[in-house]
Amino acid sequence: MSSRKWVVVAALVAPLGGLLSVATVTPGRLAWAAPPSLSVTKTVETGSMPKAVTVSPDGKSLVVTNFGFWKNRNLYWYDPVTLAKVGQTDFDDKDGNAVEAVFSPDSKTLYTSNFNGNNVKVVDVATKKVTKTVDVGLRPKIVVLSPDGTKLMVANWDSYSSTIYDTKDWKQLYKLKAGEHPRGIAITGGPNPKAYIAGFEGDELDIYEGADFGTHKKIKACRHIRHMTLSPDSKILYLSCYYHGQLGVWDIATDKMTKLVQIGQEPKSSAVSTDGRWVFIANFGKPDQDSISVVDTTDWKQRYIKVPKMDQGCGLALSPDQKTVWVTGWNSRTLHSIDVGPLGIKPAAVASASASASASVVASAAPSGSAKPSTSAAPKLGTAPGKGPIKLE
């Protein structure tokens, strides 16, 4: 019998590998390189309407905001490894309900938006107590930090504005007008920073630029922008385009949309790996409400990870060591850990405030590696021919 080798090409439905796999085999022996698979490792119950999950830059603190609890039980704190509940923060405010949060770069302070109280709560991480209340606009939602942590930017849902504060003395530095119901926001660093504000009810971005944010322009992006996350090199802004279930790829230099990738329905919070390759997004809408989407920026293909017991994925965070993704289930009142270690993502050399996905900001000094934006039409992704959604379990 001949000892020749055959080259075999076959289409595979693989968790995070390509749809096409090539192997050189000896007759009678077939050996395929197994693509990495991702799995849910832990699930615990949490509070009512868990809006966001946020991890500290040092990876030691994990907090969930309980939007459905008023006055008390506003924040639940968890051990990032075991998901054991280790504490809670009470606003002791009759109008208090937490929405989103971001940790300071040194992991010692947590800033949390108090939606119905129209303020931001400053929380000491060591004691888990509120140390200061800062009045902001009406119904604050997302809060993000500038890369150096000296400025806090707040999206004021009912004020048609975003306000920026000095985190040392809490003076209001800027009030930037925005469209209806501003939610997604981002701010870059450097001598010529940009501030991005998305009005959720529209399809435009308000973009302010300059040392004093004095230059303003309004540009159409996509329908109902829910969340925005900067790439590690601050060159790309990823948009959760809620209405059509898409991930928007926005070029910071040109302020143009370069690609729209079809993902799960009603995408919410997102996070980007420190090497810039992977984008993780929580899916809220049916039929994808029990999954997160994972987009590979090298080929813009999307895959689903099924999350058992989760109903309406909402908050999402990526651990600083790049080994775990946490996601909350809005309707199921759950918190889940997903092992993404098989992707082999290398953590950033220096931890920053951007380690929290809900912060949506990464220092420009963080390692780059994001794929260059492609202007080619995005293919319809997330399905295999004749087999429906590709689901990672």
Q: Report all structural domains of the chain as residue ranges with CATH numbers, in order of start.
A: 1-35 (no CATH), 39-392 (2.130.10.10)
Percent pLDDT > 90 in the chain is: 77
The pTM of this model reads 0.82
* Number of Cβ within a 10 Å radius of residue 366: 23
Strands (DSSP E) contained in 115-220 are 119-124, 129-135, 140-145, 151-156, 161-166, 172-177, 182-187, 194-199, 204-209, 215-220
* Number of Cβ within a 10 Å radius of residue 327: 30
Q: What is the pLDDT of residues 20-46, one digit of tens each?
A: 222 223 333 333 344 478 999 999 999
Residues 6 or more apart whose Cβ sits within 8 Å of residue 28: none
- Listed range (3-7, 118-122, 127-131, 283-287) with the worst mean pLDDT: 3-7
Tell me, what's the pLDDT at 97? 95
Tell me, what's the pLDDT at 16? 40
> In 3D, which of 358, 382, 304 has the Cα closest to residue 40?
304
Amino acid at 52: A
| 224 or 376, which is more confident | 224
The pairing of strands 151-156 and 129-135 is unpaired
Is the pLDDT at 377 greater than 50? The verdict is no
Q: What is the C-alpha separation between 353 and 106, in angstroms, rounded?
A: 8
Is the pLDDT at 50 greater than 50? The verdict is yes
Query: What are phi and psi for residue 342, nearest 5 degrees?
Result: -60, -20
Tell me, what's the pLDDT at 339? 98
The SS3 of residue 166 is: strand
| 355 or 194, which is more confident | 194
Tell me, what's the pLDDT at 199? 93
The answer to whether the CB of 77 falls within 8 A of the CB of 62 is yes
Q: What is the pLDDT of residues 171-218, one digit of tens each?
A: 999 999 999 999 999 999 989 999 999 999 989 999 999 999 999 999
